[in-house]
Amino acid sequence: MVMREPEMARRQHPLKLDQASEPSHMTVDDLSSQADDAGLSDTMVAEPPARDGAQAQLASETARRRTFAIISHPDAGKTTLTEKLLLYSGAIDLAGSVRTRKNQRHATSDWMAIERERGISITSTVLAVDYAGCRINLLDTPGHQDFSEDTYRTLIAVDSAVMVLDAAKGIEAQTRKLFEVCRRRGVPILTFINKLDQPGREPLDLLDEIERVLNIGAVPLNWPIGSGGEFQGVYDMPGRQVLRFERTAHGAHRAPVQVANIGDPALDQLLGPRAAGQLRDDIDLLEGAGAGFDVATFLRGEVTPVFFGSALNNFGVEPFLQALVNLAPPPGPRPSDRGPIDPVAEPFSGFVFKIQANMDPNHRDRMAFIRICSGRLEKDMPVHNPRLGRSIRMTRPSKVFARERETVSEAYPGDVIGVTNPGVFAIGDTVCAGTPLRYAAIPRFAPERFAILQNRSLSKHKQFHKGLEQLVEEGVVQLLYDPLSMRREPILAAVGELQFDVVRARMATEYNVETELEHLSFVAARWPSCPPAVLESTRLPSAVRQVYDSADRPVLLFTSEWELGYLEREQPQLGLGGPVD
């Protein structure tokens, strides 16, 4: 028996075509609605080749990028797994926890005050990490469905996803919805079944559920040794190694691991005769079943490789990280209005998928997050924003690690970089050098909750409006106003109630403004696409209220789904749809 690091075979995989295309609007329950190609053609666009050396560097830098999101139902352990991936990649020395006791560190990716107070993730977090020769761009997402618009935007920016399941719960509702988004976008998925240290369901039962409910092949690449209080580690199937882990205090340090072969006579001693016998039987059964893993089927989204472990205890995290860098694809071509854009071709292009204000309490600025899709981005490079028709100098592109940032001199396809945003970038903007192009717009969700936000700190009128404007720019909520109302307060529109809590908490902590909410009884909003004259000449039911969004487009608010259905049926000329940008 030896003490050494497990070895995983390195695998090659071809670049794949990202079939990204989305509807112009959607509701939370309509994540699987039809794609709308918006005139994207499929002839590859490539600008004239760059200098040979620079071209080779662009190709090799792109090939070593791994950009993925961690997704699941709330509480499955995404943030905990993220923290442990940071620990094993060497990005942090000591892992923090989502819920902390005195003197303990917090998890890196839940950096916002309200996330730490509540122990849940509220906004997606970007973490750039180097590991095993790869640059990993890891995005931890919130699981709660009230924040699913943020998670959805993040999924547009990645090349693969890690789906985390709680071993006791299996596939939960939100996991299923997010899986469907990945499937529709052609994003390959790795599965991490977490919390094996707690009483859970049988591994075979969980695999069966993945296959049945998600209609995807589930191939285990490791197998758990025991479960609950007797969970000892995992059997790594490609490497044919037994990995027995030991717990550490709070899982803050890497778990010591002992490695053995399945045929090693000392296995009984290492695992105990019962666990060793059970493992031999399990492996015989699995190898007999002959369900081999094929990388191409994974990249096509037909199969998900499955890993078991416990993020909290660091059991199975390191082999998972190794498999992740081996299996997750590098950036592939991305559709645009000029056809698919090859990542390994100049010039630079990318798009803004996230905006976040006040990440750094010392600066209190706004940051736009750009996913690079092609070419090399250089510091001080002028880029074009086709929406505004203007050029912007990238003076300080930053590598982002949760709330920290570090200016970089260059960045490559797959990278998510932060740039300070004095109001020139909006979510969905394409940024590019060379001939202007546009990546598909990022759709907004139709709001289902409405409330008036009142300012309780009356002397802070300016702060109230600044805070609201910045939170709306981030997409935390949408803003509506009624020009006929005597009241001056804005109407907030959200997908879920928790978004209002976030607005109030962030207004207090980041803008020092106390606010009060007054809920409105509307349950749906629709944007009429008809010409203004048609809307003016249509008699609306008295309970329907007409308001405007921040781009001055008319919006109709409904107090019941029935009322909405009635108007859609009776007045089809209104062309009621979701929000479009």
* Binding residues for ligand GTP (CB under 6 A): 72, 74-80, 98-99, 120-121, 142-144, 194-195, 197-198, 310-312
Q: Look at residue 197 and give the partner it binds from Mg ion, ligand GTP, none, a contact being a CB closer than 5 to 8 Å depending on partner kind.
A: ligand GTP
Say if strands 382-385 and 390-393 run parallel, antiparallel, or are unpaired.
antiparallel
Closer by beta carbon to ligand GTP, 75 or else 159: 75
Selection from 381, 357, 379, 355 nearest residue 368 by Cα: 355
The span from the CA of 201 to the CA of 311, in Å, is: 17
Closer by beta carbon to ligand GTP, 224 or else 340: 224
Least spacing, CB of residue 164 vs Mg ion, in Å: 10
Say if strands 478-481 and 515-519 run parallel, antiparallel, or are unpaired.
unpaired
Selection from 347, 343, 345 nearest residue 432 by Cα: 347
The span from the CA of 572 to the CA of 514, in Å, is: 43
Q: Look at residue 383 and give the partner it binds from ligand GTP, Mg ion, none, a contact being a CB closer than 5 to 8 Å depending on partner kind.
A: none
Closer by beta carbon to ligand GTP, 147 or else 511: 147
Least spacing, CB of residue 457 vs ligand GTP, in Å: 30
Q: Look at residue 394 and give the partner it binds from ligand GTP, Mg ion, none, a contact being a CB closer than 5 to 8 Å depending on partner kind.
A: none
Least spacing, CB of residue 244 vs ligand GTP, in Å: 17
Least spacing, CB of residue 221 vs ligand GTP, in Å: 18
CB 495 within 8 A of CB 533: no
Binding residues for Mg ion, rule: CB under 5 A, are: 78-79, 121
Q: Look at residue 556 and give the partner it binds from Mg ion, ligand GTP, none, a contact being a CB closer than 5 to 8 Å depending on partner kind.
A: none
Q: Look at residue 75 and give the partner it binds from Mg ion, ligand GTP, none, a contact being a CB closer than 5 to 8 Å depending on partner kind.
A: ligand GTP
Closer by beta carbon to Mg ion, 350 or else 496: 496
Closer by beta carbon to Mg ion, 98 or else 492: 98
Closer by beta carbon to ligand GTP, 74 or else 238: 74
CB 299 within 8 A of CB 188: yes
Q: Look at residue 358 and give the partner it binds from Mg ion, ligand GTP, none, a contact being a CB closer than 5 to 8 Å depending on partner kind.
A: none
3-state secondary structure of 498: helix
Closer by beta carbon to Mg ion, 176 or else 466: 176
Least spacing, CB of residue 12 vs Mg ion, in Å: 33
Closer by beta carbon to ligand GTP, 94 or else 285: 94
Least spacing, CB of residue 140 vs Mg ion, in Å: 6
Q: Look at residue 20 and give the partner it binds from Mg ion, ligand GTP, none, a contact being a CB closer than 5 to 8 Å depending on partner kind.
A: none
| φ and ψ at residue 555, rounded to 5 degrees | -135, 140
Selection from 105, 84, 133, 496 nearest residue 326 by Cα: 133
Q: Look at residue 574 and give the partner it binds from ligand GTP, Mg ion, none, a contact being a CB closer than 5 to 8 Å depending on partner kind.
A: none
Least spacing, CB of residue 110 vs Mg ion, in Å: 6
Least spacing, CB of residue 499 vs ligand GTP, in Å: 14
Selection from 512, 520, 523 nearest residue 563 by Cα: 523
| CA-to-CA dists, residue 264 to 221, 241, 276, angstroms | 20, 10, 10
Q: Look at residue 162 and give the partner it binds from ligand GTP, Mg ion, none, a contact being a CB closer than 5 to 8 Å depending on partner kind.
A: none
Least spacing, CB of residue 174 vs ligand GTP, in Å: 8
Closer by beta carbon to ligand GTP, 40 or else 69: 69
CB 76 within 8 A of CB 311: no
The span from the CA of 559 to the CA of 138, in Å, is: 41
Tokens of 157: 């920016």
CB 168 within 8 A of CB 199: yes
Question: Residues 386-420, buried b or exposed e (16+ Cβ, 10 A)?
Answer: ebeeeebebeebbbbbbbebeebebbbbbbbbbbb
Say if strands 303-308 and 189-194 run parallel, antiparallel, or are unpaired.
parallel
CB 527 within 8 A of CB 447: no
Q: Look at residue 198 and give the partner it binds from ligand GTP, Mg ion, none, a contact being a CB closer than 5 to 8 Å depending on partner kind.
A: ligand GTP
CB 545 within 8 A of CB 522: yes
Closer by beta carbon to ligand GTP, 217 or else 316: 316
The span from the CA of 581 to the CA of 579, in Å, is: 7
Least spacing, CB of residue 117 vs ligand GTP, in Å: 12
